[in-house]
Amino acid sequence: MRKPILTTLSAAALLLAAAAVPSAAAPARTTTLVAVVCVGSDTTNYDPGLRTFSQTVDTYGTDEGHSCTGVGRISGLNSFTASFTGHYTASCVSPIQAGSGTEVLTWNDGTTSTWSWSSTVATNSAGQLVGTYDGPITAGRYSGANLNNTDVEPNTNVTACFSAPGLTQTTGTATWTFTDI
């Protein structure tokens, strides 16, 4: 039996109208506002230098963020530096490791932000290593905000991996994004 077209259209209209009415049980959606973005660099030193095989290394280096802009930027805070250290197993194939830690960012006015981060690592199709670090600012400037840092380190000077002292330093670009300010 064939249904009249008007009945089918009326049923479809009723379903669309019901779908447009918000449900009381539907959870509220939250929106993350990108408030401050800084660009900069990441330099990591390895001791001993990275080789083609895995070994335990000590790392130390500097993160820098410059040209900070955005609607949530605190007036006068334009740049920061942060030193870091680490101790883990690495090689030229895998110089950046997933993990967690704390880093203190020192702003250009001498104030600080304490950042508690965790990281993941991926390799993109161009052969660059991409490290992603994410976590809350736990103290100081921007306390309570979330900070995401993405470092891109090109695989350069690979020949250093084949003999001592190995690859002793990597440098890449960094983007720092503060949200939920």
Residues 142, 105: Cα–Cα separation, whole Å: 11
% of the chain at pLDDT higher than 70: 77
Residues 86, 78: Cα–Cα separation, whole Å: 27
Total length of the chain? 181
What pLDDT does 141 receive?
Answer: 95
Q: Domain extents for the chain? A: 34-179
Q: 159: pLDDT confidence band, cut at 50, 70 and 90?
A: confident
Average pLDDT over residues 41-69: 94
Residues 88, 21: Cα–Cα separation, whole Å: 54
121-139 pLDDT, tens digit per residue, is 776 556 687 889 999 999 9
What pLDDT does 10 receive?
Answer: 36
CB atoms within 10 A of CB 125: 5
Measured CA to CA in angstroms, residue 143 lies from 56, 66, 84, 96, 159 at distances of 34, 19, 20, 27, 43
Average pLDDT over residues 164-171: 92
What pLDDT does 81 receive?
Answer: 97
Stronger pLDDT, 87 or 80, i.e. the higher one: 80
The average confidence (pLDDT) of the chain is 81
Q: Which long-range contacts (CB under 8 A, 24 or more apart) does 94-103 make?
A: 94/54, 94/121, 95/44, 95/46, 95/50, 95/129, 95/153, 95/167, 95/170, 96/44, 96/121, 96/129, 96/131, 96/151, 96/153, 97/121, 100/135, 102/138, 103/63
What pLDDT does 33 receive?
Answer: 62
What pLDDT does 97 receive?
Answer: 77
Stronger pLDDT, 19 or 76, i.e. the higher one: 76
